[in-house]
Structure 1
């Protein structure tokens, strides 16, 4: 792996060109801010596909997964849409020794919480994500969510967070509710509809995008879908890493 931007004489790689997890954690550290910081992590092919056969794994690579793990290792909470949780087979976040000292110094628990966004709460609450996480899973839903599903979620050990009216979750309110619970370093892994909602609400601070050197054609979703913004929001390039033709870029809101 090599750094393409910003250009520097310093290197974080070893003699084989591999970056340590500590070096990646330094490169992707959250900014020092008094408020919350929402970053997204997504992968896309050259022709804009965010998935293949309904999943992101076929367009990923080993280095992409190392960065994926690093971003999780730095976050207070991982936010994902219900459909992504179902399709990707989400499990509880793990405590990793490589990030233990860094998390302890930042006042974080051993692993990030997972927050699932769902208006209907149509989820299998017998899965490990709900019954055996290190940190209780949060469910972000609307005030009109079915009471029986709220009760089932709570019986499974999940924390239900009301973050909208009716069956809709308000993206800005979801960020505030998580921050009020001490989750200021937020990471969303999609899916595309949820990311599109965060973009449209103007609450996304940072975009971590892996560009895969692949073409898929077809009608796969882009990394963000749903409502459009009236005026495209400009982000500034913060860094670019490269390995085996994959580009690992990071953009921040201007």
Structure 2
């Protein structure tokens, strides 16, 4: 691993992707040693800020981006995703390679983290890959107002269905529920409305962004989408430069 810079002095580490091992990546993206909950979001975006092409992020990703995605999942206690992203990206259950499972076991974690899906209306297909192609059943975070039949169907498909509030899934309830389940290292994979909610409610601690070397124009959303103004000051901890022009940065809340 080739690096320059000193992140401790406020200057990000500059890292060349060539020769990066899984252990190198695990060191770069390691969670701080703290008992406090930690919320990290991970997105891929174009140079001009779009997080999708033709409605999906698949046109922006790269082999290293996918490798880091899997690594971030292997470091997390839970992967938090909005229902719209589950549908658009056709999510299946999390898969962790054997090396990642071994790393998790040494840290006292379950081999594979669950998906926690935020859906105020419980609007998720119980026949989707989220249920049919998974190792760990998902956790559905919904509301009392969601149709009872939909919640029953999701529970029958194997989900742990949790009602959070009367008609809206609030950030505080998400955090209380996940932390109550022993899940303190939370990885949010979108979508932008959920990421915007976490940022506006001041619980977003880190943002990992892969920048694709392309401009896509159009009307795609940005990483965070919310009508509530918020400003979080961030420090760049590292930037990985890949030979294909992709850049992977890790940003953390300014202390």
1:3–1:241 CA contact under 8 A, matched in 2: no
Residue of structure 2 in register with 1:75 after alignment = 76
Residue of structure 2 in register with 1:250 after alignment = 250
Residue of structure 1 in register with 2:238 after alignment = 239
Residue of structure 1 in register with 2:92 after alignment = 91
Q: Shift of residue 105 of structure 1?
A: 1.4
Q: Shift of residue 131 of structure 1?
A: 4.4
After superposition, the Cα gap between the structure-2 partners of 1:157 and 1:115, relative to the gap in structure 1 and judged at 3 Å, is same
1:205–1:253 CA contact under 8 A, matched in 2: yes
2:15–2:241 CA contact under 8 A, matched in 1: no
Q: Shift of residue 148 of structure 1?
A: 1.0
Q: Shift of residue 133 of structure 1?
A: 2.7
Output the TM-score relative to the length of structure 2: 0.91
1:171–1:197 CA contact under 8 A, matched in 2: yes
**Using the alignment, how far apart are the partners of 2:74 and 2:147 within structure 1?**
33
**Using the alignment, how far apart are the partners of 2:23 and 2:166 within structure 1?**
42
**Using the alignment, how far apart are the partners of 2:201 and 2:14 within structure 1?**
37
Q: Deviation per CA, 1:13-68, whole angstroms, max 9, x where unpaired?
A: 8xx92211121111111111112111000011111101000001101111111111
2:14–2:241 CA contact under 8 A, matched in 1: no
Q: Which moved more, 1:104-113 or 1:131-140?
A: 131-140
Output the TM-score relative to the length of structure 1: 0.91
1:131–1:157 CA contact under 8 A, matched in 2: no
**Residue ranges of structure 2 left out of the alignment (5+ in a row):** none
Aligned-residue Cα RMSD (Å) equals: 2.1
**Using the alignment, how far apart are the partners of 1:5 and 1:144 within structure 2?**
51
Q: Deviation per CA, 1:224-245, whole angstroms, max 9, x where unpaired?
A: 112232x512111111111122
Q: Deviation per CA, 1:82-114, whole angstroms, max 9, x where unpaired?
A: 110011010011131111221011111111100
**Using the alignment, how far apart are the partners of 1:189 and 1:3 within structure 2?**
27
